[in-house]
Structure 1
């Protein structure tokens, strides 16, 4: 007898393996008919045995009788099991189609699909990207200076010379740190290591460059811009052998075009500025702007500019055109994906709830034909697709941007018209797919409800899985009953077989003694004892 291992295993049956309820009923009828035939064979076996023609085939007889006894219930459970599995398979196929649509329309429902922009420059050295708030248009951008980070080099010292002990305060812009200089770190390399390893490092790196004149302490700001200058001060020094001369003050340039300058504490051992701190300088449509970084995020709404030295041009300040436009390719692809996924779902509708008149009567309808859950899902999504979205005082529909609703409930996308609408009427397309009341947003809300915990899908799967679990329990019980019945019949018919064998033996003896219908026995011939 077939059983199922668990209720959950039913949901893994493929949609293509669906069996109609008519076939299930037929299977139950076949099981009952086979049992009746087995019962007749068993009866004939008993008759044959009782007439002495043959001994009973106890094993076959018991099997036939047990099967006949449980055939009705066995067939009913198998039919019910197949029917449940068929419905679960259909619901699983529907669930897969809904989940694919849910995931596929996310870029349209959350606004990211229509919030992508292409930003291109017709010159060199200038790149850019746009966010969902980018202002489309053509901009004349001229770069005259890129941002730079200050780099300083100290006077030369002996590589292993102990410079003294004390406290060194180092700042970059408005951030600072304090470093204790001790006998363990008071060489040039020791000071560099102490600066780099400090947990309060304000944003600079320290290295040592050794030349013919000695070892130089090199300080580099990690941040560009005129405001990120480096300052060094040294407190009271003990055993001073050059530590106090490391004091230095930086001053930003008087204008963005002017470099930063430095003043060393020691005129005998001065610092050298090898790179000044400067802001980037540019104009956009004639309006001048500066930035402490070569990544400019505030000059054009929603656009990030990335400046390089190559953008300065020849002569300096030569403008180039920056074009900001909606990425119609990505948006059109997202809309096409929505159409394809919806059409795939409509195909699934036909597979799980369609009607095929060419099939045998009773097997023409899909397992979910007439199902309330299915009808609710289908009508809800169809209503969203066919209805428009309010746009000001009027409505805008899928048809307005090139998506046609066909008689068979599928959609057809006119890619050319969609691209044209994205270019000429981006506000209308954005309204149709807005992230609150747009087509995809409303569909996502409904799909979340259908597929979520306690939703229509789960509420229809749970009773079927519970029923399959109950069927499995009943099949186990029936199997135990069949085993018990087999044991009982085995004992009874084995005993009967023994009695019948004894009776047949006695009958043969009496026939030999008294004779039969066609012969005289031993007593009749006077040969009796």
Structure 2
């Protein structure tokens, strides 16, 4: 970068000299009477000659500082991405991750925190459902009377006032859906061959969430009283039953309120929803109808796929850091230009520290484990510090030697823990990158102050030169006028004056 700076300063100085030489011609021209002196160009050239070198040096310094800051920003971003990738490797989260698989359909198992390896026989007897009731058929626009409908679901209730404005099936359904204190029921109208039906469905699954409808203060009854229905939860989570208030206009239960019932290793389990989260520690099941009536094998085992992905991602992001470092410290022999941090001691410290951790191992003597044991090695030709991943060897190590992998990434002195501590030290407030950035920002502030002073100096110098050369131009113009007068009067080398010819 210093070569570029010197070149720009020398070029600016050379240009300023040329401008002065060109402007000086106007002085010569003015002194011979050929034309007036170009004061503006002369002043500009002289001021530029006085300030061009320093201005170019300050500009070059400012450019270098900003380029270096940008380079450290790119390096910090790459380091932060690597640190994020190794977080779960350094704290043991990834290596304690388990995967849950089922031998059939309808369980959709997920393993999370707290899961342990194991195998279970799971039989689903029924899944959880929400109750759905359909009324008898009525005319779609037939007024059913006025009064009050009380609707309860799972212990919560609301009252719907039925009047002449909403006493059709559609009006009642709309009133139910818009009620602010709705206990958890939706109402729709289904029109069949026999007429329109009011269909009520509980919003929540489970045996306890049954629907009750009672009517009171009914006037001009034309079917409103027949909308009463009483539901009863089934025993031990079984399907709900119901009784209509008018057996001649009875409701139908298209789906019962019931819990999910299943056995896990012969042990009965029950859930009000199909998301079963408390039956097996750290494992959730999301039941569907496909699981009913079959016995499946549920297996909880280390999630080698997730571990493979995490370790591969870590290696790739380490390569990004190395590539960034190499680019910032490179030198192009053809263009004779260097990277923004070529020869920078801070960059070399970071590069050497990370390379030492990656190239080292964990443990002592014959028990030492390194990345090579996982099929991850340094690139050989050309050797640039990046890592090469043998996916087959990595998969094999995760499956056959999980203890060795766990040792390499242990939470105390494992590879991830070491890298995490090292990167934290580099990027923390007050760390070596922050210290370098602070020095660069301080220098930029100094450059700005010097540029301001130089601008003030240039303004002062311009006024001074403007005054001096304007006066000189006026004097030269007067002298030229006097010279022309005397020549006309006494004559010159090529002509006789007025006095010589007695004119």
Give, in angstroms, the shift of residue 21 of structure 1: 2.0
- State yes or no: 1:229 paired with 2:220: no
- Using the TM superposition, name which of 167-176 and 181-190 deviates more: 181-190
What are the Cα deviations for residues 124-147 of structure 1, in whole angstroms up to 9, with x where unaligned?
Answer: 444333435544555443333233
Q: Distance in 2 between matches of 1:445 and 1:368?
A: 21
Q: 1:234 to 1:482 in 2, by over 3 A?
A: same
2:315 maps to: 339
2:105–2:291 Cα contact (<8 Å) kept = yes
Answer yes or no: is the 8 Å Cα contact 2:74–2:324 preserved in 1. no
Match of 1:154 among 135, 156, 163: 135
Whole-Å Cα distance in 1 between the matches of residues 11 and 176 of structure 2?
A: 89
- Choose which of 67, 72, 95 in structure 2 pairs with 1:94: 72
- Let me know the Cα RMSD of the aligned residues: 4.7
* CA–CA separation in structure 1 for the residues paired with 2:186 and 2:37: 97
Shift of 1:262: 1.8
Structure 2 residue 448 is matched with structure 1 residue 469: yes
**Aligned: 1:84 with 2:62:** yes
Equivalent residue for 1:275? 255
The gaps in structure 2 that reach 5 residues or longer are none
SS at match of 1:263: strand
TM-score of the two chains, using structure 2 as the length reference: 0.76
1:450 Cα deviation from its structure 2 partner: 5.6
Post-superposition CA distance 1:179-212 (Å, at most 9, x none): 2333433344333332222222222222344556
Which residue pairs with 1:191 in the alignment? 172
Q: Distance in 2 between matches of 1:490 and 1:328?
A: 84
User: Which one of 256, 267, 275 corresponds to residue 295 of structure 1?
Assistant: 275
Superimposed CA distance per residue, residues 57-86 of structure 1 (whole angstroms, 9 cap, x where no aligned partner)? 833x87467535543532122122212212
Q: Distance in 2 between matches of 1:430 and 1:64?
A: 77
Q: TM-score, normalised by structure 1?
A: 0.72
Give the distance between the partners of 2:461 and 2:204, measured in 1 at CA. 84
How far does residue 259 in structure 1 lie from its aligned partner after superposition? 3.0
Aligned 8 A contact 1:451 1:457 in 2? no
TM-superposed deviation, 1:172: 2.0
Q: How many residues align?
A: 489
In 2, distance between residues paired with 1:41 and 1:185?
Answer: 97
> In the alignment, what sits opposite 1:8?
none
Please say if residues 62 and 489 of structure 1, whose CA atoms lie closer than 8 Å, have aligned partners that are also in contact.
no
Distance, in Å, in 2 between the alignment partners of 1:24 and 1:77 is 12
Q: How far is 1:92 from its partner? A: 0.4
CA contact (8 A) 2:208 2:233 kept: yes
Q: What does residue 391 of structure 2 align with?
A: 415
- Point out where structure 1 has 5 or more consecutive residues left out of the alignment: 1-19
Deviations 1:366-396 (A, max 9, x none): 65466575466556656765677899xx997
